Amino acid sequence: GPELLVAAADPITLASAGAAQALIAVNSNDIAVMGGEPRWLLTTLLLPEGVEQDRALDLLEELAEACRRASISLIGGHTEITAGLDRPLLCATLLGTVPRDGLKLSRDLRPGDAVLQVRPVALEGGAVLAREHAPRLLAAGVPPEVIRAAARWLDSPGISVLSPARAIRAIPGVRAMHDPTEGGIATALREFAEAGGVDFRIDPAAIRVLPECRTMCEALGLDPLGLLASGSLLVGVAPDAAKAVEEALEGAGSPAWVIGEVVERGAGNLDALPAFEADEITRVL
């Protein structure tokens, strides 16, 4: 047929506030970077012992509402009480479709391609810090207005990259896309290059960090390049198409800029970026 079935599976483990919305976003992002549209969702909801029934029902309703807003069909799943948890864990498998000739894969990256960053980092990590660690941030001297601004990021602009991915997926020369998540943008760049069998030469000064995120990270001794970065997007694009891609993204309300280029394996400089064994947010859990 003219379409392929694509699948993604991701949990939400490091946040509780807005978990249902985040679950839909991170799984939709995995479908979007393949050039696809998210369609059908199956979920597993693991609840801690002693959870109140109303809390469980609220989570399920939040999940159903997030699916409705995203035009995704919730087609099944599983819910249980699980020993040893201190918060609900949401897991999902999301199915989508992509035109057979529109599938985007990292293996299509070529030396000479431009590497673009879409939106500054770290929207998700900054929002989680602001929503779940506000007292600690205030005690560290972070201004309340900075915390309030970051807390809104899950709602606006949100952590979904569906809109920017839709805006560019049909542009000739767009080779591949990758969504930074755990481990931040530094980890994502390594993942993207490794999956493509190539290397990147990155200008570290070109990587943009949201000012509020930088302020919170400095107060807590965290590195924003290793912080949950859902909401941003990495794009590999033929050099003669980079301008068209930047313009399309600007028109979609998602600014983008070149941060480096694709090179042959072994010719890059990714070792110049910090490496993280775990996401920086785990240091404050």
Tokens of 228: 């949950």
Q: Does 273 share its domain with 138?
A: yes
Q: Does 170 share its domain with 40?
A: no
Q: What is the CATH number of the domain that holds 23?
A: 3.30.1330.10
Give 243's pLDDT tier (boundaries 50, 70, 90).
very high
Give 16's pLDDT tier (boundaries 50, 70, 90).
low
* pLDDT of 139 higher than 70: yes
Average pLDDT over residues 223-228: 98
Single residue among 61, 82, 102 that ends a domain in this structure: 102
Residues 46, 245: Cα–Cα separation, whole Å: 41
The number of residues making up the chain comes to 285
Single residue among 102, 124, 140 that ends a domain in this structure: 102
Domain total in the chain? 2
Give 1's pLDDT tier (boundaries 50, 70, 90).
confident
Q: What is the CATH number of the domain that holds 115?
A: 3.90.650.10
Q: In this predicted structure, what is the pLDDT of residue 12?
A: 85
Q: In this predicted structure, what is the pLDDT of residue 226?
A: 98
What does pTM read for this prediction?
0.92
Q: In this predicted structure, what is the pLDDT of residue 17?
A: 66
Residues 188, 182: Cα–Cα separation, whole Å: 8
Q: Does 217 share its domain with 254?
A: yes
Residues 40, 71: Cα–Cα separation, whole Å: 9
Q: Does 83 share its domain with 195?
A: no
Q: In this predicted structure, what is the pLDDT of residue 217?
A: 98
Q: Does 275 share its domain with 173?
A: yes
Q: Does 92 share its domain with 28?
A: yes
Domain that holds residue 219: 106-284
Q: Does 82 share its domain with 142?
A: no
Q: Does 28 share its domain with 161?
A: no
Q: Does 192 share its domain with 258?
A: yes
Q: Does 65 share its domain with 90?
A: yes
Q: What is the mean pLDDT of the chain?
A: 95
* pLDDT of 15 higher than 90: no
Q: In this predicted structure, what is the pLDDT of residue 14?
A: 64
Q: Does 92 share its domain with 201?
A: no
DSSP annotation of 219 reads H
Single residue among 51, 85, 102 that ends a domain in this structure: 102
Between 171 and 18, name the one with better pLDDT: 171
Q: Does 9 share its domain with 114?
A: no
